[in-house]
Chains A and B, each alone.
Chain A
Amino acid sequence: MSNSDNPFLPVMATVTKVIDETPTIKSFQVILNDQGQMKSFHFQPGQVAQMSIFGVGESTFVINSPPTRMDYLQFSVMRAGEVTDRIHQLKEGDPVGVRGPLGNWFPYEEMRGKDIYFIGGGIGMAPLRTLLLFMLDKRKDYGDITLLYGARSPEDLCYKEELNEWEARDDMELILTVDREFPTWDKRVGLVPNVLKELAPAPKGKIAITCGPPIMIRFTLEALAELGYQDEQVITTLERRMKCGIGLCGRCNIGTKYVCTDGPVFTLTQLKQLPPEL
């Protein structure tokens, strides 16, 4: 992706659009400054990249625009620490560094012909968005597509414009939920794992893909097991503090696996083979 073989060197990019998603989450669309590099930037749905703010550092984010739409690369960033605080100050036209693509991706080839059940919570919608848009762009390759997406409150839901579009589509189903009642909210109320149990989607022919806060993932995995999903039907993504992104700096390992290179995407079967250090 860069002119050099040096995986530590970011390529320079420019922010072309900033979207306020929620009070703590913004999406940033960026394009690589060198058109040739942008054209040759090949990635797979689920892969991540490091965003560089020079003078502050790098953080890892999933590229949540799909590889089928290469007008820009989109990253959604929750303000949580030093680097993300500075990323939130970025404006259109500002320079950033991008290092990637890194990590593995959703096994979308193996999901062909299956019904896909996305279960997202909060910012965990970001990696699901990539795969959802990718599958919608290759709609014929997949069976029924359902998205169950929840957040603490209506304003904490990301990608609000797209949620309206997805709701209007007749080739996918969207179920939205928030944690408690709000005066402006006329859709479902309840925690994602509980709503999942109420909906009780039959496991036959399905792949469930879940991403969200650790506590939500934990109870979602339990709910899926209760509903009869086998481990190999369940896919999730893991997060860890990362620095290098290329399996060298040491901090993101779980046993022999490095979340940055062996992940972030894991099937539940793979997850259960790791030592319990989440």
Chain B
Amino acid sequence: MSTAGRFLATDKIPDLLKRLGTQYHVYAPVQASDTTVLFQEFNEEAQLALEREATLSPKEVFFPQTERLLTYTYQKDAEDPKKSSIQIEETLEASPTVIFGTRPCDVRGLAIFDMVFNQGQWVDPYYRARREATTIVTILCTEPENTCFCTSVDGGPADTQGSDVLLTPVTGGYFAEAVTEKGDGILQDDAFVPGDDKAQEAREARDKVALERELDLARTPQTILKLFSTDFWEQVTAKCISCGACTYVCPTCYCFNITDEDAGLGGERIRTWDSCMFYHYTLEASGHNPRPTKAERYRNRVGHKFSYHPSTYEGTFGCTGCGRCIKVCPVSLDIRQILREAQVHE
């Protein structure tokens, strides 16, 4: 932490976001309907919802559901109308952004994204540009929900990994600490006042935060491989309807599709979210499909998050324990329960 703690009063937050809005795109959790909280660009009418986990993580800020990768334009040769050429143009856009009010698990989701999209031989320039342009203000979780299991996947309600500022709820507002230099810049705003008198309360709040580790997943990566060719997957996915909702709300799911959309004398190449839970995701032109049933597809999803990702990235699970997949599943599949059942076979 580079500076001493500051205090941010709850009633100063709208003004803070408004001021930040003059320099940044500011995303914050906003009550989008009676039952949904979404990270939306903040405006004065927006009703902030900082008390609970948002319905979706702010993944979309970095990895939009739909984004343009390039545009292409056909050009006829003036000398020879039968000949045409194509001009392509990169459409990489990123502008300074602040995300206010994320939770540690969602930021951990970005750290997991970074491993795949922002390092190694191939880097995704669209993701990287947005990631580098963004400052993240995270709120520590004092009251985990009953679907939360971040501690089981090596995260925690007070985890600062990937955050630039950490806010700890205290009486009347938040005790704010910079985690990075970028975060220190945010704390220079007048909304933050000296917070020494709140430091003790913040420390106590943090000490009190506890989410018991309900799963010990140390052997899970091997167990999944051991179960690979068994009927375990058919059994646990019997009620799955392959709707893909779990992948849609997941802060670490990054599968995507690329399609072209023609419009007049040109068009756009577009990237959209895809889902490994869909039959067509792996269907080949020959008709062959290496993951033809929901059992293989679910095996891949669980395998990827709890075996392949940790095997590739030094033990880091591809799951943040945010619990959204448990909340949205229409047939009440609970990933924790499946991992527990897998442990029986260890």
Contacts and interface: CB of A to CB of B under 8 A. Distances in A.
Nearest to B287: A80
Interface stretch (B131-139, B186-194, B256-264, B335-343): B256-264
A128 B134 CA distance: 47
A92 to B, nearest CB: 11
B215 interface: no
A241 B274 contact: no
Interface in A228-259: 239-241, 243-244, 246-251, 253-256
Contact of A249 (B92, B125, B274): B274
Given A6-B92, A248-B117, A277 B225 contact: no
Interface stretch (B6-14, B94-102, B296-304, B324-332): B296-304
A251 B255 contact: yes
B250 interface: no
A56 B262 CA distance: 8
Interface string A11-46: 010000000000000000000000000000000000
A275 B291 CA distance: 12
Interface of A: 4-10, 12, 54-58, 80-82, 84, 93, 95, 97, 214, 239-241, 243-244, 246-251, 253-256, 261, 275-278
B281 A9 contact: no
A255 B260 CA distance: 29
B235 interface: no
B283 A250 contact: no
B236 interface: no
A95 B255 contact: no
Interface centre among A6, A54, A58, A241 (most CB of B within 10 A): A54
B274 A248 contact: no
- Chain B at the A interface: SS class: mixed
Interface of B: 69-70, 72, 74, 82-86, 88, 90, 92, 116-117, 120-126, 225, 228-229, 254-260, 262, 267, 269, 274, 276, 281-286, 288, 290-291, 296, 300, 303-304, 307-308, 311-312
Contacts of A57: 258-260
Contact of A97 (B88, B123, B228, B255): B88
Nearest to A254: B290
A277 B259 CA distance: 26
A8 B254 contact: no
Given A250-B274, A277-B290, A12 B258 contact: no
Interface centre among B70, B84, B283 (most CB of A within 10 A): B70
Contacts of A55: 72, 260, 262, 267
B116 A244 contact: no
Contacts of B274: 249-251
Given A250-B274, A256-B311, A278-B290, A244 B284 contact: no
28 contacts: A5-B125, A7-B125, A8-B258, A8-B269, A9-B88, A12-B85, A12-B88, A54-B267, A55-B72, A57-B258, A80-B285, A82-B285, A93-B83, A239-B284, A240-B290, A241-B281, A248-B117, A249-B274, A250-B254, A250-B255, A250-B274, A250-B276, A250-B304, A253-B308, A261-B121, A275-B228, A275-B229, A277-B296
Ranked nearest first, the 9 interchain pairs of A and B with the lowest CB-CB distance are A81-B285, A250-B255, A246-B122, A80-B285, A55-B262, A54-B72, A256-B308, A275-B228, A95-B86
A97 B267 CA distance: 14
A25 to B, nearest CB: 13
B151 to A, nearest CB: 25
Given A240-B282, A248-B256, A276-B228, A10 B262 contact: no
A55 B85 CA distance: 14
A5 B258 CA distance: 19
Contacts of B300: 253, 277
Contact of A54 (B86, B125, B258, B296): B86
B263 to A, nearest CB: 9
Given A58-B258, A248-B124, 4 more contacts: A54-B269, A55-B267, A276-B228, A277-B228
Nearest to B71: A54
Contacts of A80: 285-286
A147 B124 CA distance: 40
Contacts of A97: 86, 88
Contacts of A6: 90, 92, 125
A257 B304 CA distance: 11
B267 A240 contact: no
Contacts of B286: 80
Contacts of B125: 4-8
Given A55-B260, A250-B256, A255-B308, A95 B85 contact: yes
A17 to B, nearest CB: 16
A247 B276 contact: no
Given A9-B88, A12-B88, A255-B308, A56 B260 contact: yes
A241 B276 CA distance: 12
